[in-house]
Amino acid sequence: MTNAPVTGAEARTIAGPGKPAMSPARLAGIALAVAVALGLPFVVSDFHSFQLTQAIIYAIALLGLNMLTGYNGQISLGHGAFYAIGAYTAAILIDKAGVPYYATLPVAGILCFVVGFLFGLPALRLEGLYLALATLALALVVPQLLRFRPLEGLTDGVQGISLDKPEAPFGLPLTPDQWLYFFALLVAAIMFWAGHNMLKGRIGRAMIAIRDHHISAETMGINTALVKSTTFGVSALYTGVAGALSAVVVAFVAPDSFELFLSISLLVGMVIGGLASVSGAIYGGLFVQFVPNVAEEISKAAPWAIYGVILILFMYFMPAGIAGFVRQVQGRLRTAPTRSSADG
């Protein structure tokens, strides 16, 4: 930690020349994306707004998982557990304590941070596949715990907790689905902005250094234990907030909602979206939400076989995930005009 200022200075020199390089084309692209994101719910149906909201929620969860696995190299097969804890925290606070839904998100986030951080401590001794197994256990335990009798006063056991869908506040002329879309979008914008800053800064570089070479990172003075368990905590925080949002949007939680398959879906979404990429989380969220539906459209008899084929095709043609593919295409587009201008 003593050499932190040095790394900080480095950051400025690295980031320095990058900043003004934001081309007008890129700015226009971002402006267009924002306009589309804000305009979509007015163009599509409530049902599609609901689906898009779910995709946004998955994107937040995937960003959390990506911090841990993509940036820090710790594999988690159990992020569904944090998603469940976040969702139940929100549902219990709303249902039993009458807390307004928006106020449950920070609570869910903080609780998941603590749980994630504590889980991260013993997990420090575990590397690679062993950590994967430990987190897998977490994913298996949580749905059982939610059914556990002594906790039933809180969790309502197997039957789950039913919530009311919130209406748009301040008399805004929005349907509940449109409102929740904007609400989720706002939460996602804040969390992506914060996540982006963290990952591009000193802590982000420390995380990557640990992933790439643990011993060198330690030699450079990075407190690897602290960084790793904090990363676990922050990662759980993101996924927990996503879970809380999902409880509000779906308006129902039950142990059956958070079986192992959820954790696997998140892992798939992260890899398909692009490891160690912030924008990859968005692509991954869209994939997790929409590809199973596409698969079902293609074949009702064997949707998961189709899903598998799509998965393989993605991995074959975009080995670095969708984000990697986009980067590649952008790179080509950027070099192409330079060449032509040189010619002319």
Partner 1 sequence: MSMTRRLLCTTGLAAAVALVATPGLAQKKYGPGVTDKEIKIGNTNPYSGPASAYGTIGRTIAAYFKKVNSEGGVNGRMVNFVTLDDGYSPPKTVEQTRKLVERERVLFVFQGLGTATNSAIHKYMNRKKVPQLFVATGATKWGQPKAFPWTMGWQPSYQTEGSIYAKYILKNIKNPKIAILYQNDDYGKDYLIGLRVGLGAKAKGMIVKALSYEVSSPTVDAQVVQLKNSGANVFLNVTTPKFAVQAIKKAHDLGWKPVQFLNNVSVSVSRVMKPAGFEKSRGIISSAYAKDPTDPQWKNDKEYLGWLAFMKKWYSRGSVNSSFNAYGYAVAKTMERVLKQAGDNLTRENIMRQAAGLKDVRIPMLLPGVVLNTGPGDFRPIEQMQLQRFEGNTWKLFGPIIDASGSS
What is the Cα–Cα distance from 111 to 316, expressed in whole angstroms? 39
Sign of CA dihedral 275, 285, 56, 165: negative
Q: Does the protein bind partner 1 through residue 224 (CB under 8 A)?
A: no
Residues ≥6 apart with Cβ < 8 Å to 263: 76, 77, 78, 79, 80, 81, 135, 136, 139
Tokens 């979404």 sit at which residue? 269
Residue 296 binding partner 1, by CB under 8 A: yes
Per the structure block, which two tokens stand in for 155? 């969790």
SS3 246: helix
Q: Are 277 and 324 in contact (CB under 8 A)?
A: yes
Contact range with partner 1 by CB under 8 A, out of 167-175, 207-215, 249-257, 333-341 = 249-257
Q: C-beta of 94: minimal distance to partner 1 in Å?
A: 14
Alpha helices by DSSP H, 221-320: 224-250, 260-273, 278-298, 303-317
**Gap between the Cα atoms of 203 and 51, Å rounded:** 34
Instruction: Give the footprint of partner 1 on residues 147-166 (CB under 8 A).
Output: 147, 149, 157-160, 162, 164
Residue 259 is a binding residue for partner 1 (CB under 8 A): yes
250 forms part of the interface with partner 1 (CB under 8 A) = yes
Toward partner 1, which CB reaches closer, 301 or 342? 301
Minimum separation from the CB atom of position 292 to partner 1 (A): 8
Q: Binding to partner 1 by residue 54, rule CB under 8 A?
A: yes
304 in contact with partner 1 (CB under 8 A): yes
167 forms part of the interface with partner 1 (CB under 8 A) = no
Binding mask of the shown chain, residues 55 to 94, with x at each position contacting partner 1 by CB under 8 A:
----------------------------------------
Residue 318 — φ and ψ, nearest 5°? Answer: -130, 70
Q: Which of 86, 255, 269, 284 binds partner 1 (CB under 8 A)?
A: 255
In the list 303, 310, 320, 324, the residue contacting partner 1 (rule: CB under 8 A) is: 303
CB-CB contact of 116 with 237 (8 Å): yes
Which stretches of the chain bind partner 1, using CB under 8 A? 45-47, 50-51, 54, 144, 147, 149, 157-160, 162, 164, 246, 250-257, 259, 261-262, 296, 300, 303-304
